Amino acid sequence: MASDLRLPTDKIVRPDKDRFLNEENPFEAMMSRFDRAAELLDLEPGLYKVLRHSEKEITISVPVLMDNGEVEVFTGYRVLYNTSRGPAKGGIRFDLNVTLDEVKALAAWMTWKCAVVNLPFGGSKGGVICDPLKMSVSELERLTRRYTAGIINTLGPDSDVPAPDVNTNERVMAWVMDTYSMHMRHTVTAVVTGKPVEMGGSLGRREATGRGVMFVTREALRHLGIAMNGATVAVQGFGNVGSIAADLLSKQGCKIVAISDRTGGYYNKGGIDIPKAIEYVRQHRSLEGFKGGDNITNDDLLVLPVDVLVPAALENVITSKNAGKVQAKIIAEGANGPTTAGADNILDEKGIFVIPDILANAGGVTVSYFEWVQDRGGYFWSEETVNNRLEEIMTRSFTDVLGLSKQHKVNMRTAAYMLSISRVATVHRLRGIYA
């Protein structure tokens, strides 16, 4: 590290280092991993302070006229964590459990995720506290448009580019794009990714996160010398990420023995028919009542004796309380933050190979980047080109992180953080501090 590239600063003070860690607070969980990697990188104190803070946090009230004629006021957030490497990139989540701390953690994760796969993006995230399953389509549209109008000053293809996340989808992205375009007085396709293909979306985007999970799982199995054909897999969460990861892994020969969603889980030793389960969810909106396996709980699913566990629902499902019981050889983190910092050491001691979220689920943002590139160039790629380029980036990134983990004798998570933090830090050093 060239000393003239280091930022001048005073003595390092690592806040909260020995304080009791609130395992369930996603921001603290993310920061504890950041701290460990920063220490190993010997990050200079000034830069350490900069990277521990988000650049911008917006909280807005979102009034919505409901179908019954009454007005409800929802709370929405948008956090831009770091934009040193390029426009902020991050999804929008509609969920009752959204908090500012969660959005901040997810925005920071987006920063590290984009850097670990070396995309020219920073990180952001947004969320609205609501229960979309209880809202009509027109209520959701009004909520989305008013939320978009409320954060419009941060949005833009060169500044902040949203994408789908939990409980948002292509249709929601179309409303965001339309609302933004109406304000700008011209159509701006590149302001969001994960849009319908008919209006500037990329082929392969919908499947990209699950496909990325499949690629890194394949690499991990290869690394551990486990044959993909017949490898047993349990997948928690059967939405966009979980269902597609399950489908593609089964097409590669893996046996998906368990799946679940918020309504419960299903176990079948002989393997679950994944296309059938996907069709069931398309018809019934959830797995509730699915007959393809025996009922199990979401907690049971996490501790099944399988080769691969794919947590692809929400955060904090593998904690210090249940990590000791996990029997999988590989955990491929499809969800963001499914493992708490307290669980990391326990999994390490058990020798479980964890492909961390910022690497494992980076396929989505990678194809979002392809979509943004295609929109700006006005020239669209074939699905084969998208998938091949995704494969190249995911396998190269896996190899980069694995190499670093061997070199520094650290686990894959710490190695992924070290790689991404060092990339963000290098740009900060080159740019310096504008005063």
- Which of the residues are catalytic? 125
| Contact between 364 and ligand NAD per CB under 6 A | yes
Q: What is the DSSP letter of 202?
A: P
HSE on the CB side for 368, CA within 13 Å? 33
Residues 303-322 vs ligand NAD: string with x where CB under 6 A? ---------xxx--------
Mark residue 337 as left, alpha or beta (left: phi above 0; alpha: psi -120 to 50; beta: remaining).
Answer: left
Contact stretch for ligand NAD (CB under 6 A) within 61-69, 133-141, 151-159, 332-340: 332-340
Cα→Cα distances 169→75, 206, 279, Å: 20, 9, 18
| Contact between 259 and ligand NAD per CB under 6 A | no
Calpha distance 118→115 (Å, rounded): 5
Contact stretch for ligand NAD (CB under 6 A) within 9-17, 75-83, 165-173, 320-328: 165-173
| Contact between 339 and ligand NAD per CB under 6 A | no
Which is nearer to ligand NAD, 74 or 109 (by Cβ)? 109
**Binding residue for ligand NAD, selected from 165, 178, 344, 375, defined by CB under 6 A:** 165
| Contact between 261 and ligand NAD per CB under 6 A | yes
| CB of residue 164 to ligand NAD, shortest distance in Å | 6
Q: Burial of 417 by CB count in 10 Å (0-12 exposed, 13-18 middle, 19+ buried)?
A: buried
| Contact between 371 and ligand NAD per CB under 6 A | no
User: Do 268 and 233 meet the contact criterion of CB atoms below 8 Å apart?
Assistant: no
| CB of residue 39 to ligand NAD, shortest distance in Å | 27
Q: What residue is closest to ligand NAD based on CB?
A: 239
Buried b (16+ CB within 10 A) or exposed e, 313-344: bbbbbbbeeebeebebbbbbbbbbbbbbbbbb
| Contact between 336 and ligand NAD per CB under 6 A | yes
Contact stretch for ligand NAD (CB under 6 A) within 1-9, 164-172, 179-187, 383-391: 164-172
Which is nearer to ligand NAD, 126 or 334 (by Cβ)? 334
58-117: contacts with ligand NAD (CB under 6 A):
none
Which is nearer to ligand NAD, 162 or 239 (by Cβ)? 239
Which is nearer to ligand NAD, 290 or 381 (by Cβ)? 290
**Binding residue for ligand NAD, selected from 82, 189, 202, 260, defined by CB under 6 A:** 260
Which is nearer to ligand NAD, 339 or 374 (by Cβ)? 339
| CB of residue 199 to ligand NAD, shortest distance in Å | 18
Q: Name the one residue in this structure whose structure tokens are 């933004």.
A: 180
| Contact between 202 and ligand NAD per CB under 6 A | no
User: Do 412 and 332 meet the contact criterion of CB atoms below 8 Å apart?
Assistant: no
| CB of residue 223 to ligand NAD, shortest distance in Å | 22
Q: Which residues pair with 271 in a beta bridge?
A: none
Backbone phi, psi, residue 40, to 5°: -65, -30
Task: Extract the tokens encoding 391.
Answer: 């494969």
Name 131's Cβ contacts closer than 8 Å, sequence gap at least 6.
95, 96
Calpha distance 14→331 (Å, rounded): 30
**Binding residue for ligand NAD, selected from 32, 83, 84, 236, defined by CB under 6 A:** 236
Q: Name the one residue in this structure whose structure tokens are 């490497």.
A: 85
**Binding residue for ligand NAD, selected from 204, 334, 342, 356, defined by CB under 6 A:** 334
Which is nearer to ligand NAD, 368 or 428 (by Cβ)? 368
Cα→Cα distances 28→25, 34, 341, Å: 5, 10, 9
| CB of residue 166 to ligand NAD, shortest distance in Å | 4
Q: Name the one residue in this structure whose structure tokens are 């009230």.
A: 61
| CB of residue 210 to ligand NAD, shortest distance in Å | 8
Count of CB atoms within 10 A of residue 69's CB?
6
Q: What is the DSSP letter of 156?
A: B
Name 49's Cβ contacts closer than 8 Å, sequence gap at least 6.
9
| CB of residue 429 to ligand NAD, shortest distance in Å | 29
Site residues, ligand NAD (CB under 6 A):
164-167, 209, 236-242, 260-262, 298, 312-314, 334-336, 361, 364
